[in-house]
Amino acid sequence: MKRTERAEALSYTLSLANEYVREHAPLSDRSKRPSFHLTPEIGWMNDPNGFCSFGGKYHLFWQYNPFEAKWNSMYWGHAATVDFVKWEYLPVALAPDKPYDWGYGCFSGSARAENGNLYVMYTGVDEDAVQQQCLAYSRDGVHFEKYERNPVIPSSKLPEIYPIKEFRDPFLFRRGDRYYALVGTKTELCGNILLYRSKDMKRWKFVGALFGGEEGGLNKGVYECPTMFEADGKDVLMYSAQFLPSDGKRFVNIHSSVYLVGKLDLASGKFNVDYMGETDGGFDFYAPQTIAAADGRVIMTAWMQMWDRDYVTAPDGYVGSMILPRELSLKNGQLYQRPVREIELYRKNERRVSDFVLDDEENEISALSGTRKEISFGIDTGTAERVGIRAFVGEGCALSIYYDRKKGTVTLDRGGCGKLIRGAFPETDFAARSVHVAPDGNGVLSFRLFLDCTGAELYVNDGAAVMAANVCPDRGAEGVSFFAEGGSARFCNVVGYEIEVK
């Protein structure tokens, strides 16, 4: 097989990638970057991969192009943490250096600790864009060896109705003495996920497809990056659906992250769905992965970015970040998400504000200003038509977040927040996203907002809805204000912290 000119130029070796990062990362100015959201040392980051626990640490890998702040042939970046907030960068883990992956690279996948080794399963994508599932393993959790008989699920084990160029992102798991892999794909009509089974992670048998093939309408996209965890006796399956049509209220992004609560039948591969939800109602959330922490919590991370958008941080030498990891649980059969509790260890300079009422007015609170913050508050929605908070406030700049009484929604509007982030596809709305939520029996909504320089994550009603969004505010836009329009509302339990992770 002939390597492309580019492959020759880059040599596609791990050592070259690591050398490049070592030399160039120290030159990158981190002062304007997110502080408690993981970003790549330099270059391009997309999907989280291989989120796992190994050797007393939590490891996270990601889709990585260290050489440029744009997508190209994929490596696996690597970092580890003990608290999900502060990360230690580790050497690049995988490079596209074998015939089955040296074209488009080492695509997304997952990890499993087994017999003292760390196994990763990923999609090797060759020069013809053929996608096959591969295995690599490590004794120390840092240096990986690719299995000599890769690919372990070759394209020949893909039933013919699925295209060999759309077969990716294996999620490896174990039930009893069997290993299983969920792999994303599509047909002409619709995305799907396939189940494979193995005794040893090396030889795999096709079991079946999870869905009938017409779910989500004729969306024509792959169900990318499947992942699954168990809660309350149910299986919670997550995947990222390319081009999923909106149902009018949800799935407004061009590509959407879906969760299904139900049950996977391991014998047939069928997934019986009780409920389908949108994992995050904001702009920038894709390809989540979860792990079970040592204390039993299910923790999720995800790419805090979206395909086919403008990547406004590229001039600063990097693109992509991960969300602040979230603790997941089910309540009344639906997903609840809370910011990982360890973030509270990094709070500084607490500022509490006495309860106050606003009547058709706006009030800037200078004690809360800043761009690396946690701000939480309740709103007794009173008679106001629209009531909420503005952050990143400067001359003609603000990110607005508000409850709209008539619509019954909480809206995050980044339209007036500095440079508007647009995209390659004509999305219905580049400025605002809304989630449907209701105040509690006393008319109160609760909010927890995290600001981190170029992004915001908003938790509503104790994690009933979450919205992640990147922003590109004006320099020096640091103000925070509260507002009520068309009536009055009461703000309670307003508290802010600075959050800085060094």
Q: Interface residues with ligand FRU (CB under 6 A)?
A: 46-47, 63, 74, 107-108, 123, 168-169, 224-225, 286-287
Q: Which residue lies nearer to ligand FRU by CB, 96 or 388? A: 96
Q: Does the active-site annotation cover 47?
A: yes
Tokens representing 500 are: 């800085």
Query: How far is it, in rounded angstroms, from Cα 238 to Cα 452?
Result: 26
Q: Which residue lies nearer to ligand FRU by CB, 80 or 183? A: 183
Alpha-carbon Rg for the chain, nearest whole angstrom, is 23
CB of 73 to ligand FRU, least distance (A): 10
CB of 286 to ligand FRU, least distance (A): 6
Query: How far is it, in rounded angstroms, from Cα 473 to Cα 391?
Result: 10
Does residue 20 sit in helix, strand or coil?
helix
Query: How far is it, in rounded angstroms, from Cα 290 to Cα 229?
Result: 7
Residue type present at position 168: R
Phi (first) and psi of residue 427, to 5 degrees: -70, 155
Q: Which residue lies nearer to ligand FRU by CB, 46 or 150? A: 46
Neighbours of 359 (CB within 10 A): 12
Q: Which residue lies nearer to ligand FRU by CB, 224 or 327? A: 224
Nearest-CB residue to ligand FRU?
107
Q: Which helix H or strand E contains 106, and what residues bound it?
A: strand 105-114
Q: Which residue lies nearer to ligand FRU by CB, 427 or 462? A: 427
Query: How far is it, in rounded angstroms, from Cα 122 to Cα 136?
Result: 8
Contact 301, 108 (CB under 8 A): no
Tokens representing 145 are: 């060896």
CB of 211 to ligand FRU, least distance (A): 17
CB of 369 to ligand FRU, least distance (A): 35
Q: Which residue lies nearer to ligand FRU by CB, 224 or 235? A: 224
* Cis peptide preceding 325, ω within 30 of 0: no
Phi (first) and psi of residue 436, to 5 degrees: -90, 115
CB of 297 to ligand FRU, least distance (A): 25
Neighbours of 461 (CB within 10 A): 18
CB of 132 to ligand FRU, least distance (A): 12
Query: How far is it, in rounded angstroms, from Cα 76 to Cα 220?
Result: 28
Within 395-431, strands assigned E span: 397-404, 409-413
Catalytic residue among 47, 97, 126, 235: 47
Residue type present at position 280: D
Residues identified as active-site? 47
